[in-house]
Amino acid sequence: MTTGSRDPVRGRYAPSPTGALHLGNLRTALLAWLFARHASGRFILRIDDLDLPRVRPGATDRMLADLRWLGLDWDEGPDAGTGGPYGPYVQSARQAIYDAALARLREAGLVYPCYCTRAELARLASAPQAGDDAPRYPGTCRHLTAAECRAREAAGRRPALRFRAPDEPIRFVDTLHGEQTESVAETVGDFLVCRSDGIVAYQLAVVVDDALMGVTQVVRGADLLPSTARQLALYAALGYPPPREYVHVPLLLGADGARMAKREGALGLDPLRERGARPEGVLGMLAARCGLWPSGEPVTLDDLLAAFAPERITIESTAP
Ligand code: GLU
């Protein structure tokens, strides 16, 4: 589908069901909902469950129930009663769609098989010249001949697929972080679009899904800001119009100042509900910590939406 600037806003929240949503996830969901509804847009809920080994049984139902408890609603999503024209809204049911995108990249010569093992990549990561972030892939497998590929496969190695990073810098504007420029070839180099176990990489799945679901507004945690240039390179390679708006919202930090992690059982709604918390109280607390509701008093979603002003969002904040 093509999206012109006059088309209505379509925002989304795309959690991974690897555990219960913690307060940081809930705040990102709240902000994504506020941005979409503030623009009179539609709101889509998608379940990013591609990494099946990390998916926890029952987590999706709990996530939906927690989002509903806060009062959030969505127009298209995975649950009965919503549905929508661009489903399925669950990544694990979209494999054929990703395979088609991979085939297009392959036909265009934009991907190549990579036989590097985890251990080989880990050695790169620990090399003295490697920075703090994931190291740049040096292109070890970029120029393998067909015979070299066959030899590796005969030795039992299964390839991952890497996308040839474009040399030219990628520019985009983030509503909160301003203008961004990144040369993917220099920062991460050729990056994975499919792992050697056949699981499609997040970068590709999110682009295919957002594009085919007509998403125009991507609101998500600031930890994903460094992924955006890679994703825009994939939009261009696949000929999709990119989202019109990116907003990378501040992460809510735990009481210890560290990033909250679902798998580590960071504070979610259950303990708060056990202590009698009500949705308005949680909304007030979440919104206070990013500058949207300075008093921190209980507030309804309607009142938060009426008062919503993106320019008031502040950067870091800690959980209770
Ligand atoms: N599924 C990702 C997560 O839970 C978010 C993907 C995105 O918003 O692009 O962190």
Per-residue pLDDT of the chain (320 residues; tens, 9 = 90+): 455 567 899 999 999 999 999 999 999 999 999 999 999 999 999 999 998 788 998 999 999 999 999 999 999 999 866 677 899 999 999 999 999 999 999 999 999 999 998 888 888 767 655 445 568 999 999 999 999 999 999 999 999 999 999 999 999 999 999 999 999 999 999 999 999 999 999 999 999 999 999 999 999 999 999 999 999 999 999 999 999 999 999 988 877 777 777 766 678 999 999 999 999 999 999 999 899 999 999 999 999 999 999 999 986 555 55
CA–centroid distance, 16 to ligand 1, in Å, is 7
C-beta 14 within 6 A of ligand 1: yes
Residue in 66, 89, 199, 224 to alter for ligand 1 test, most ligand atoms within 8 A of Cβ: 224
Q: Are 118 and 124 in contact (CB under 8 A)?
A: no
The residues carrying an active-site annotation are 262
CA–centroid distance, 260 to ligand 1, in Å, is 14
**CA-nearest residue, atom 2 of ligand 1:** 15
CA dihedral 67, 71, 74, 77 (to 10 degrees): 30
Q: For position 264, what pLDDT does the model report? A: 66
The amino acid occupying position 176 is: L
CA–centroid distance, 263 to ligand 1, in Å, is 15
- Phi, psi at 66, each rounded to 5°: -65, -40
Q: Are 47 and 14 in contact (CB under 8 A)?
A: yes
C-beta 48 within 6 A of ligand 1: yes
C-beta 206 within 6 A of ligand 1: yes
C-beta 251 within 6 A of ligand 1: no
C-beta 215 within 6 A of ligand 1: no
| Atom from ligand 1 closest to the CA of residue 220 | 8
Q: What's the rounded Cα separation, in Å, for the pair 4 and 182?
A: 25
C-beta 16 within 6 A of ligand 1: yes
Q: Cα dihedral sign for 101, 184, 243, 11?
A: positive
CA–centroid distance, 48 to ligand 1, in Å, is 7
Per DSSP, helices labelled H in 78-126 are 95-107, 118-125
Q: Tens digit of pLDDT for each residue in 44-80?
A: 999 999 987 889 989 999 999 999 999 999 999 998 6
Q: In what order do the strands lie in the sheet with 191-194?
A: 111-114, 160-163, 191-194
Classified as helix, coil or strand, 171 is strand
C-beta 220 within 6 A of ligand 1: yes
**Residue whose token pair is 């979610």:** 268
Q: How many CA atoms lie within 13 A of 296 on its CB side?
A: 6
